[in-house]
Amino acid sequence: MSTTLWLEILAAAVGAGVGALVVMTVLRKRAGEILVREREEFEERVRSLEATSEKEVTRRVKEAEVAHRAEMVRLREGLDRDLKDRLEEIQKLERRILQREETLDKRRESLDSKEMALERRERQLGERDEHLRREEARYKELQEQELRKLEEIACLSAEAKEKVETEAKKVLALAVERYSGDHVAESTVSVVDLPSDEMKGRIIGREGRNIRALEMATGVDIIIDDTPEAVVVSGFDKVRRETARLALEALVQDGRIHPGRIEDVVNKTKREIDRRIQEAGEEVLLELGIQGVHPEMVKLLGRLRYRTSYSQNALMHSKEVAHLSGMLASELRIDPAMAKRAGLFHDIGKAVTHEQEGSHVQLGYDIAKRYNEPSQVLNAIVSHHEDEEPNCIESLLVKAADTLSAARPGARREMVQSYIKRLEALEKIAESFKGVEKCYAIQAGREIRVAVLPDQISDSQASFLARDIAKRIESERTYPGEILVTVIRETRHTATAR
């Protein structure tokens, strides 16, 4: 290759290198300018952003402050409302308290005025009591003076008083002498005569069913022993005993003796006893000439025929007291009719003491008041045992007549009455249990037979009932020997063939 060519190539290469260098220099300058411009723009943007951020922050801070102030205002308004409501409630409470205080003040003033009035009243009463005591003392003194004057005038002395007492005793003696009343000593057994000893077996029945049916229906004890041609009916309740005696006599006379027939005859006999009770009351009223008595009082009076007190027949005792009261009234020249009436009804409460709780005095007073008996009769009932003070002459006469009748020799026997009360107490213990229909104390109180309602007491419960009754008797009563408690539960099924 020639030198010229190499020079041209070298010159071209140098030119190219110079051009490249120029180009690179230009490019570097341009790049620096661009970088400077971009840096300036960036710094401008940064300054702009800083300014914008500061304004935004300021704006947001201001908005937050405004919102905070608004919230504070809202909260303050709410607190103001709550405070206002609380203040109103407090004011209402204060007004109520003031009203109550005013009311209490008024009541206190009223109480103070009442207390002052009571104090004045007490002072007045005290002064009045003192005045009455002075007047009473003065009256007693005047009375003693008058009595001394009367004694001086009438020449009365201790001897005269003895004569008066003697005269009073004479009046009582005359009254007792004028009355001659029969007295029958009550007992607790009745005897039924039989046509033959063969009848005893029929009364007992197969396996004893007849005698058990009779004892259950009447509530007494039928004693069949070696006594020839006789059966003993034992029981402390005379109504039951009389019912059993009459029923047994009717059965013996009829000859048909079986449980169904026994029940029919006993029911018929009970109706007959009720009729006799009515007749007994009417007979006594007719004998004493007492009229205007309520029909129920007549029945209760008749029931006293089958009631005893200390072995003394209650009806005979009442009639005796009525006669004695009438005699005493006649001796004192007082109308005897009211005295007889008061004497007759003074023990009327004894007719229901077997059925109701309470003393015969209170029961009698309630009965007489219910049937509009006069006030003299009511006072005689409540005063003859000194429950209240007598307020009329009839009450004093009845009390004296009652004492005379009871004190008559043979009129009372305490042991029989105690025995009857013991039997009644045993029956009441058994009757207090639920499901008991009837209860009878028999064998002189050595056995209690209790009939229960089959729809309320089962067979297993009947066993427990017998044990409970026995335990109650052991804890509440004192008695010699043993007492047998028999609980009977009978279920009947009937059908009718047509």
Q: Are 342 and 395 in contact (CB under 8 A)?
A: yes
The pLDDT tens digits for 106-150 are 888 888 888 888 888 888 888 888 888 888 888 788 878 877 776
List the beta strands (DSSP E) in 162-297.
189-193, 221-223, 230-234
Contacts of residue 300, defined as CB under 8 A and 6 or more positions apart, other chains included, come to 281, 348, 351, 352, 367
Q: Report the C-alpha gap between 229 and 75 in whole angstroms.
A: 117
- The burial of 355, by beta-carbon neighbours within 10 Å (0-12 exposed, 13-18 middle, 19 or more buried), is given as exposed
- The burial of 245, by beta-carbon neighbours within 10 Å (0-12 exposed, 13-18 middle, 19 or more buried), is given as buried
- Residue whose pair of structure tokens reads 């704006």 in the numeric block: 59
What's the pLDDT score for residue 413?
Answer: 47
Q: Report the C-alpha gap between 380 and 396 in whole angstroms.
A: 8
What's the pLDDT score for residue 21?
Answer: 75
CA 65 to chain centre: 81
CATH number of 418-488: 3.30.300.20
Residue of 250, 233, 251, 385 whose CA lies nearest to 309? 385
> 289-412: which CATH number, 3.20.20.120, 3.40.50.10800, 2.10.240.10, 1.10.3210.10?
1.10.3210.10
The pLDDT tens digits for 340-363 are 888 888 888 888 876 777 788 888
Q: Are 446 and 482 in contact (CB under 8 A)?
A: yes
The pLDDT tens digits for 357-388 are 778 888 888 888 888 888 888 888 888 877 78
Write out the two tokens for 88.
Answer: 């109103």
Residue of 167, 303, 259, 275 whose CA lies nearest to 490? 259
Q: Report the C-alpha gap between 36 and 28 in whole angstroms.
A: 12
Q: Report the C-alpha gap between 488 and 219 in whole angstroms.
A: 13
Q: How many residues are recorded in the chain?
A: 498
The pLDDT tens digits for 177-206 are 555 454 443 456 777 888 887 888 888 888
Q: How many C-beta neighbours within 10 Å does residue 209 have?
A: 13
pLDDT in tens, the chain (498 residues): 567 777 777 777 777 777 777 777 777 777 777 877 877 887 787 777 777 777 777 887 788 888 888 888 888 888 888 888 888 888 888 888 888 888 888 888 888 888 888 888 888 888 888 888 888 888 788 878 877 776 666 554 556 556 656 666 566 555 555 554 544 434 567 778 888 878 888 888 888 888 888 888 888 888 887 777 788 888 777 778 888 888 888 888 888 888 888 888 889 988 888 888 888 888 888 888 888 888 888 888 888 887 776 667 788 888 888 888 888 888 888 888 888 888 888 888 888 876 777 788 888 888 888 888 888 888 888 888 777 888 888 888 888 888 877 665 455 544 455 667 777 888 888 888 988 888 888 766 778 888 898 888 888 888 888 889 888 888 887 665 678 888 888 777 777 777
Q: Are 349 and 361 in contact (CB under 8 A)?
A: yes
Q: Are 467 and 245 in contact (CB under 8 A)?
A: no
Sign of CA dihedral 387, 388, 393, 394: negative
Looking at residue 65, its amino acid is E
